[in-house]
């Protein structure tokens, strides 16, 4: 039954065509008329979910006449006698967007429910317009209520979603209540065990997005794979006038435009020959302004056009071999020491990657905020995006699969027009078994149906060949499915001392480009000693030098993203005086200070062809 369900989901997404699906967030909200709800919101910490369930553990929002004790009703006592045991107005405030852990000391380790409330007034620009309530991301599960009515719920902490609120919105005195729950659960994606901080809250922007009644909901424009010199794309309208409508697609700089007619689902495809096109690349991140308009609606953005493919052992960018000089990054703010979400955070992180000599970043282990990929587009930084299918996901559970597939669908939908994004990663370090391989293969099939223009990979694991620890290989059936063979390895850290790398040889049989998705080791910035003393900068530097020599010996090596750009918080890393809650494998400390190994990798990248 599980695979039937999966099949259905795949078919559903397929029907919707290149990740275009109905009734969802208008894509590219940044170019829409939108009003930010950023600012201080009231919040109530609710570990027992007292505002969600009555004392028989029945959900208030499933009842016909919910009690005023349900927090989403945002009630006040009617008179001086009435008993109510909460009051948003008298509660503390917290900044949105932002995680709660880094804002409130008492919530540093908290995992559970927090209720958020915001009051606002809103006047539409045009009375016939529609309004969507848009969330960049909420970690991890949320229920959303406007003016006492439930408008929806969402699972998955790293992707955007929205709800239409046209009919519920009032000019004044709107009450928006969001129940956010970040409890880790076994069947979740991610599951119970990870190596990063489980930041809770409304972690990315919230806004009201206004559109005409019939509007451009989604579109994709890219270079055709099989017809050089041709752009291809599709567009989807939403609204009562979506069928049989003219849509114009224009690229003013190329003096090109085309008119297409939508079908009865509001969909239209197009193909646009272009003779003089400067392709987007890491060397020349050229983008063109693309404008899509229909009736009263018009939306535009800057899009780069490029081809990414593999041929034998090579990764080809616009037909030419490229070596991915990468680094892995977690979504943590170098400024605030919490979840990153601003353009400024992205600018600093990608700026460091640039300084390191990178043309590539691996955004681990979940979709990062949209500023990262937009900035990567403008900088010419190639990107690996990943979903949090990490370690020991509940492979047998159909709801776990659906959750992973939905997150994949949402990130592809968000980023399919980003030239920088070249790889979709299905997973990280997952234990091989037939069920797991089927799970990942289904995700890969889904990805290829949603987006045939990009490459697929996953961070796999290596093993000893026939039990000989000196010869390493990749034995994993999922290796057959990927376009790029990626794996993590920790020789010199979990696996011997750095000079062990000299004894190891690699026997990789797959005729595919090889990418080292992780290697590295920890160092406490400022701690010095000889190169065999763990946690010193000298040890980490030694580890990088030995690993880089060893890895250069892999013939099919076409790139790497060592672990990791900056030290990051992890509850697994509690060694006093060294870790104190931080994974120390960063090349840069959480204070922004570069360690010695930063310069070893920089030297390698700057001298690498
Ligand atoms: C890994 C994981 C990464 C960890 C890292 C480590 O293999 O993919 O999430 O943080 O090792 O530091 O051990």
List, as one string, the DSSP characters of 337-349: SSB--SHHHHHHH
Ligand 1: does its nearest atom lie under 6 Å from the Cβ of 563? yes
Q: For the segment 312-350, what is each residue's pLDDT rounded down to a tens digit? A: 999 999 999 999 999 999 999 999 999 999 999 999 999
| CATH 2.60.40.10 residue spans of the chain | 215-305
Q: For the segment 121-135, what is each residue's pLDDT rounded down to a tens digit? A: 999 999 999 999 999
Q: Hey, what are 121's tokens?
A: 């007034």
Q: How confident is the model at residue 26 (pLDDT cuts 50, 70, 90)?
A: confident
| CATH 2.60.120.260 residue spans of the chain | 32-211
Ligand 1: does its nearest atom lie under 6 Å from the Cβ of 385? no
Residue 15: what pLDDT? Answer: 35
Ligand 1: does its nearest atom lie under 6 Å from the Cβ of 488? yes
Alpha-carbon span 120 to 42, nearest angstrom: 12
Nearest CA to ligand 1 atom 9: 195
Mean pLDDT score, 40-63 = 97
Residue 227: what pLDDT? Answer: 85
Average pLDDT over the chain reads 95
- Ligand 1: which atom is nearest the Cα of residue 570? 10
> Other C-beta atoms within 10 Å of 106: how many?
9
Ligand 1: does its nearest atom lie under 6 Å from the Cβ of 370? no
Q: What's the CA-to-centroid distance between 83 and ligand 1, angstroms?
A: 50
Q: How confident is the model at residue 588 (pLDDT cuts 50, 70, 90)?
A: very high
What percent of the chain is modeled with pLDDT above 90?
94
Residue 10: what pLDDT? Answer: 40
Alpha-carbon span 27 to 25, nearest angstrom: 6
Instruction: State the residue for tokens 């006698």.
Output: 81
Element (H, E) at 486: strand 485-488
pLDDT at 582 over 60: yes
Task: Report the 3 state secondary structure along 560-592.
Answer: ECCCCCECEECCCCCCCCCCCCEECCCCECCCC
Q: For residue 136, which of 111, 154, 149 has the smallest C-alpha distance?
A: 154
Mean pLDDT score, 250-260 = 97
Q: For the segment 359-411, what is each residue's pLDDT rounded down to a tens digit? A: 999 999 999 999 999 999 999 999 999 999 999 999 999 999 999 999 999 99
Ligand 1: does its nearest atom lie under 6 Å from the Cβ of 195? yes
| CATH 3.20.20.80 residue spans of the chain | 309-520+559-564
pLDDT at 5 over 80: no
The answer to whether the Cα torsion of 194, 384, 420, 234 is positive or negative is negative
Q: For residue 211, which of 145, 140, 298 has the smallest C-alpha distance?
A: 298
Specify whether the backbone of 576 is left (phi greater than 0), alpha (psi in -120 to 50) or beta.
beta
Residue 300: what pLDDT? Answer: 97
Q: For the segment 72-127, what is each residue's pLDDT rounded down to a tens digit? A: 999 999 999 999 999 999 999 999 999 999 999 999 999 999 999 999 999 999 99
Pick the CATH number of 32-211 from 3.40.190.80, 3.40.190.10, 2.60.120.260, 3.40.50.300: 2.60.120.260
Residue 7: what pLDDT? Answer: 42
Ligand 1: does its nearest atom lie under 6 Å from the Cβ of 154? no
Mean pLDDT score, 210-222 = 96
**CA–CA–CA angle 323, 329, 335 (5° rounding):** 135
List, as one string, the DSSP characters of 9-68.
HHHHHHHH-TT--TTSPPS-GGGSEEEE--EEEEEEE-TT-TTTB-TT--BGGGSSS--T
Ligand 1: does its nearest atom lie under 6 Å from the Cβ of 428? yes
Residue 24: what pLDDT? Answer: 66
Nearest CA to ligand 1 atom 7: 488
Nearest CA to ligand 1 atom 3: 195
Task: Report the 3 state secondary structure along 315-336.
Answer: EEECCEECCEEEEEECCECCCC
- Ligand 1: which atom is nearest the Cα of residue 488? 7
Residue 8: what pLDDT? Answer: 41
Ligand 1: does its nearest atom lie under 6 Å from the Cβ of 585? yes
- Ligand 1: which atom is nearest the Cα of residue 520? 12
Alpha-carbon span 159 to 404, nearest angstrom: 11
Q: What's the CA-to-centroid distance between 195 and ligand 1, angstroms?
A: 6
- Ligand 1: which atom is nearest the Cα of residue 364? 9
pLDDT at 458 over 70: yes
Mean pLDDT score, 442-463 = 98
pLDDT at 6 over 90: no
Specify whether the backbone of 471 is left (phi greater than 0), alpha (psi in -120 to 50) or beta.
beta
Q: What's the CA-to-centroid distance between 413 and ligand 1, angstroms?
A: 28
Ligand 1: does its nearest atom lie under 6 Å from the Cβ of 518? yes
Residue 394: what pLDDT? Answer: 98
CB 46 within 8 A of CB 52: yes
CATH fold group of domain 309-520+559-564: TIM Barrel (3.20.20)
Residue 136: what pLDDT? Answer: 97
Ligand 1: does its nearest atom lie under 6 Å from the Cβ of 486? no
Please say whether the structural domain 215-305 has been given the CATH code 3.40.630.30. Answer: no
Ligand 1: does its nearest atom lie under 6 Å from the Cβ of 583? yes
Q: What's the CA-to-centroid distance between 574 and ligand 1, angstroms?
A: 15
- Of 563, 574, 579, the one to substitute when testing ligand 1's pocket (max ligand atoms within 8 A of C-beta) is 563
Task: Report the 3 state secondary structure along 160-228.
Answer: CEEEECCCCCCCCCEEEEEEEECCCCCCCCCCCCCCCCCCCECCCCEEEEEECCCEEEEEEEEECCCCC
Q: What's the CA-to-centroid distance between 332 and ligand 1, angstroms?
A: 15
Q: For residue 223, which of 319, 315, 310, 311 has the smallest C-alpha distance?
A: 319
pLDDT at 267 over 90: yes
- Ligand 1: which atom is nearest the Cα of residue 522? 12
Q: Which residue has the higher pLDDT, 340 or 14?
A: 340
- Beta-carbon contacts of 157 under 8 Å, excluding residues fewer than 6 positions away, are 137, 138, 139, 140, 182, 203, 366, 388
- Of 197, 328, 390, 429, the one to substitute when testing ligand 1's pocket (max ligand atoms within 8 A of C-beta) is 429
- Ligand 1: which atom is nearest the Cα of residue 494? 13
pLDDT at 53 over 60: yes
pLDDT at 60 over 80: yes
């Amino acid at each position: 039954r599980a695979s039937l369900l999966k099949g259905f989901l795949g078919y559903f997404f397929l029907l919707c065509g290149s990740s275009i699906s109905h009734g969802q967030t208008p894509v590219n909200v940044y170019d829409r008329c939108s009003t930010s709800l950023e600012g201080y919101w009231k919040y109530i910490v609710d570990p027992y979910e007292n505002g969600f369930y009555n004392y028989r553990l029945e959900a208030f929002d499933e009842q016909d006449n919910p009690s005023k004790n349900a927090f989403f009703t945002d009630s006040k006592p009617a008179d001086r006698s009435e008993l109510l045991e909460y009051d948003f107005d008298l509660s503390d405030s917290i900044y949105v967007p932002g995680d709660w852990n880094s804002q409130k000391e008492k919530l540093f380790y908290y995992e559970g429910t927090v209720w958020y409330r915001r009051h606002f007034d809103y006047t539409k620009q045009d009375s016939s317009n529609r309004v969507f309530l848009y969330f960049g991301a909420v970690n991890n599960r949320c229920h959303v209520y406007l003016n006492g009515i439930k408008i929806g719920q969402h699972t998955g902490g790293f992707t955007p979603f929205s709800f239409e609120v046209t009919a519920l919105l009032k000019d004044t005195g709107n009450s928006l209540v969001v129940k956010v729950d970040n409890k880790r659960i076994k069947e979740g994606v991610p599951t119970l065990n990870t190596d990063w901080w489980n930041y809770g809250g409304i972690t990315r922007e919230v806004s009201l997005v206004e559109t005409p009644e019939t509007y451009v909901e989604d579109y994709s424009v890219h270079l055709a794979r099989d017809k050089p010199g041709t752009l291809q794309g599709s567009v989807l309208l939403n609204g009562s006038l979506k069928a049989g409508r003219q849509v114009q697609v224009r690229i003013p700089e190329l003096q090109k435009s085309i008119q297409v007619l939508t079908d009865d689902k509001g969909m239209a495809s197009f193909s646009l020959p272009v003779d003089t096109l400067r392709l987007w690349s890491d060397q020349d991140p050229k983008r063109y302004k693309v404008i899509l308009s229909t009736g009263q609606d018009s939306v535009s953005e800057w899009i780069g056009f490029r081809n990414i493919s593999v041929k034998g052992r090579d990764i080809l960018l616009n037909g030419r071999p490229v070596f991915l000089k990468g680094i892995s990054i977690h979504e943590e703010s170098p400024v605030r020491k919490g979840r990153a979400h601003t353009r400024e955070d992205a600018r600093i992180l990608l700026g460091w990657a640039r300084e390191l000599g990178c043309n590539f970043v691996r955004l681990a282990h979940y979709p990062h905020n949209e500023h990262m990929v937009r900035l990567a587009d403008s900088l010419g930084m190639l990107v690996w995006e990943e979903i949090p299918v990490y370690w020991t996901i509940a492979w047998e559970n159909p709801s776990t699969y659906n959750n992973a597939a939905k997150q994949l669908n949402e990130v592809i939908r968000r980023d399919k027009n980003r030239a920088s994004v070249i790889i979709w990663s299905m997973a990280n370090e997952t234990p091989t078994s037939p069920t797991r391989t089927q799970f990942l293969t289904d995700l890969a099939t889904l990805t290829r149906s949603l987006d045939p223009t990009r490459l697929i990979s996953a961070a796999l694991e290596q093993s000893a060949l026939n039990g000989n620890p000196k010869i390493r290989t990749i034995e994993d059936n999922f290796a057959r499915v990927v376009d790029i063979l990626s794996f993590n390895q920790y020789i010199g850290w979990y696996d011997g001392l750095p000079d062990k790398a000299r004894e190891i040889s690699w026997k990789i049989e797959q005729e595919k480009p090889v990418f080292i998705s992780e290697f590295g080791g920890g160092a406490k910035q400022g701690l010095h000693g000889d190169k065999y003393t763990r946690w010193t900068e000298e040890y980490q530097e030694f580890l990088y030098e030995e690993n880089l020599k060893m890895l250069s010996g892999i013939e099919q090596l076409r790139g790497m993203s060592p672990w990791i750009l900056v030290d990051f918080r992890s509850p697994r890393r509690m060694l006093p005086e060294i870790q104190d809650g931080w994974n120390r494998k960063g090349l840069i400390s959480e204070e922004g200070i570069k360690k010695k190994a930063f310069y070893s990798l920089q030297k390698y990248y700057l001298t690498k062809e």
